[in-house]
Amino acid sequence: MNMTVRLVALLAITTLAAAGCQRMTKAGKHWNSSWEGLDRTITLYAEDGHILGRWHAKTYVETDPPVVAFVDSAGKEVKLMGTIIVQER
């Protein structure tokens, strides 16, 4: 192989390895979130910007459009639909 082909191959392998690490890190966060939940503040807004509800919980948020569901800090399941929802971690 000439030097250019080797350099391109090395660059491609390095790029794929780095992308794999980011994917693995994200997969780990998703696993943690689904297993233990993450500390979150979930705020529900009306279309005019008024806050309709706010929850603080260590929870996993399920999104299956148009429904967002989670378990609040009191252990109750909350399902939100057709609204503006902001999650903060």
pLDDT in tens, the chain (89 residues): 577 777 777 777 766 666 666 666 666 665 666 566 778 899 888 888 889 889 998 888 888 888 889 888 899 999 988 767 677 66
The whole model's pTM is what?
Answer: 0.57
| Angle, vertex CA 30, rays to CA 75 and CA 23, nearest 5 | 175
**Can you give the residue ranges of every domain in the chain?**
1-36, 37-89
CA distances from 2 to 45, 53, 74 (A): 60, 64, 65
Task: Count how many Cα atoms sit within 13 Å of the Cα of residue 23 in the half-sphere of its side chain.
Answer: 6
CATH code 1.10.3470 for 37-89 = no
